[in-house]
Chain A
Amino acid sequence: MTSTQKKDEIGDFSMNFGPAHPGSGNFGVKVQMQGERVLKATADPGYLHRGFEKLMEYREPMQNAVLSDRVCVLEPLQWNLVHAEAVDYLMNYDVPERAKYIRVILAELSRIQSHFIWYAVMSLGTGFMTGFNVSMGYRDYILDVFNLITGGRVYPAGYICPGGVRKDLPEKAENKILKLLPKIDYMRKFILKENPAWLARFKDVGVLSKEEAIKFGATGPVLRGSGVGADVRRDDPYEVYDELEFDIPVRDEGDGYARYCVGIQEIEESMKIITQAIDRLPKGEVRTPNLKPIVQFRKAKGEIYIRNELSRGEGAFYMVANGEKTPYRVKIRGPSFSHMIPILEYLLTGVDYADVPAIYWSLYQCPADVDR
């Protein structure tokens, strides 16, 4: 939206949506326009590349745990969890039961706050500032709990670390989380209220069919909004998800509104998971006993590809250890990459320019996760 460039024919021109646009994050889309209609859209990533995969080859696993927060700013605890699981597998750590429950509680809280941000940016993209302000305000209550437990509001600094979690829950943390749930529920009901402006912007906009979603490699709410009920938490359970009861919301429409509805229903399921996990929270150690702050990574040998259900979709770590202090190779699979490049380009072709921000945000992306 920042610059226009006229071509020979009147009415044909190209525009840049982002990367410095308040409604796009650190990501650009080059849009070929004919009047108000988009002819072709080309994604323009790379503005937030930090080279984590290479950096992780030069650092020890505990330092990588701190680094793994930064893969996606909006869901750092879940990225912590994926990284910790990969190292746990390579080192054959037996993670204590209490630590597993704490990991699940924090991952689900992280999912809820991430969905709140999603609602906030969807509101911001379509000019509904009230939604943005209210949603970010309620997200802050969750951040307060993160600050109490992990010591940081946004970045937990590797709180979920190889072998368990770095510290036990502080006193009365369970009560604080339980007190938080009515506030989350209030916000969820606020989001659920039917808003004609919201429906007009997202209903039948950016329709992604089931076949296309599978073909382009969509995961998470985007895939479930297109009618495929796939969720790693149920299909390939990790931590204690196989002991907990929860549903996988699926919608068949495949438009922006369906994706958003899946997200809102997931908040309810996450609340169910948190309540069950707090009820069953056992007592005991939170980190494998006799584990020094430094992980003895020289003992590890082999390779692992481990995947988790993040709030945006499927996130995975591939890690190779060959007996050195640091991992030999790390590959991160982020959920946003397939949403941001093939799916976004496909959905933007032939739509009105006014729908670009609506489709862009309804795909639930994170530019930080695309570039890594």
Chain B
Amino acid sequence: MFLQFIGAYTSALQMLIGEMMKMKLGIISEVFKNLFKRPMTVLFPEERIEIPERNRGEHKFDIDTCISCGSCAKICPNKAIKMVEAPPEFKEKYPKTYPQVDLGKCCFCALCEDICPKGSLTLTTYVFLATFDKDTTMRNPINVEQID
């Protein structure tokens, strides 16, 4: 019984060695090449991969050029844009309605950017938008905290 096991084991080993001899050195040479190659990844917080200019990230809104046409809210496939009024303290200066973007619903298709007649709603390349709080996904037309 024991000898049978040994016999099976050695024959399997012989087969394996035979297969390895038959195998062209292609994939093994790849292993050695990789020892001297630069890694494909980067150490993230310290190093960053350059993000292309066209990358669709967080929205940037210029309230002074907006004409409140509401086209962005109409074209948005996910209904992530809602036209809202400015906060009470700004209502005199900005009496119309302005787009409020919910990044939680946004699919970053940039149709709002394409349709905006004045170019006031654009997408930046900023993509680090992960958050723990659901309320922080809203982007209001006037950022009150920032102004204070």
Contacts and interface: CB of A to CB of B under 8 A. Distances in A.
A130 B29 CA distance: 13
Given A63-B77, A137-B40, A170 B54 contact: yes
Contacts of B94: none
Contacts, number: 66
A194 B55 contact: no
Given A59-B77, A66-B77, A151 B111 contact: no
B26 interface: yes
B52 interface: yes
Interface of A: 59-60, 62-63, 66-67, 130, 134, 137, 140, 147-152, 155, 157-158, 166-167, 170, 190, 193-196, 293-294
23 contacts: A62-B111, A63-B75, A66-B77, A66-B109, A137-B40, A147-B52, A147-B55, A148-B54, A157-B109, A157-B110, A158-B109, A158-B111, A170-B53, A190-B27, A193-B26, A194-B23, A195-B23, A195-B27, A196-B23, A293-B75, A293-B111, A293-B114, A294-B115
Nearest to A194: B24
B120 to A, nearest CB: 15
Nearest to B114: A293
Given A59-B77, A294-B75, 5 more contacts: A66-B107, A130-B27, A190-B30, A196-B19, A196-B22
B82 interface: no
6 smallest beta-carbon distances between A and B, as pairs: A193-B26, A157-B109, A151-B54, A63-B77, A293-B115, A66-B109
A268 B114 CA distance: 36
Interface size on B, as a range, is 20 to 34
A190 B29 CA distance: 11
B102 to A, nearest CB: 17
B55 A63 contact: no
A149 B75 CA distance: 22
Contacts of A193: 24, 26-27
A194 B24 CA distance: 7
B139 interface: no
A344 to B, nearest CB: 30
Given A137-B40, A190-B30, A157 B52 contact: no
Nearest to A151: B54
A194 B26 CA distance: 8
Contacts of B54: 147-151, 167, 170
A149 B30 CA distance: 31
Contacts of A63: 75, 77, 111
Contact of B55 (A60, A151, A190): A151
B41 to A, nearest CB: 9
A170 B51 CA distance: 14
A157 B56 contact: yes
A137 B24 CA distance: 23
Nearest to A140: B40
Interface in B1-50: 19, 22-24, 26-27, 30, 40
Contacts of B56: 151-152, 157
B18 to A, nearest CB: 10
Nearest to B54: A151
A157 B55 CA distance: 11
A147 B125 CA distance: 11
A63 B79 CA distance: 11
A148 B56 CA distance: 11
Contacts of A137: 40
Nearest to A63: B77
Contacts of B114: 166, 293
B24 A66 contact: no
Contacts of A147: 51-52, 54-55
B49 to A, nearest CB: 8
A195 B19 CA distance: 10
A362 to B, nearest CB: 20
Contacts of A149: 54
Contacts of A294: 75, 115
Interface in B96-143: 107-111, 114-115
A195 B52 CA distance: 38
* Best-surrounded residue of B22, B30, B77, B115 (most CB of chain A within 10 A): B77
B28 to A, nearest CB: 10
A137 B52 CA distance: 19
B50 to A, nearest CB: 10
Nearest to A136: B40
Nearest to B49: A144
A158 B51 CA distance: 20
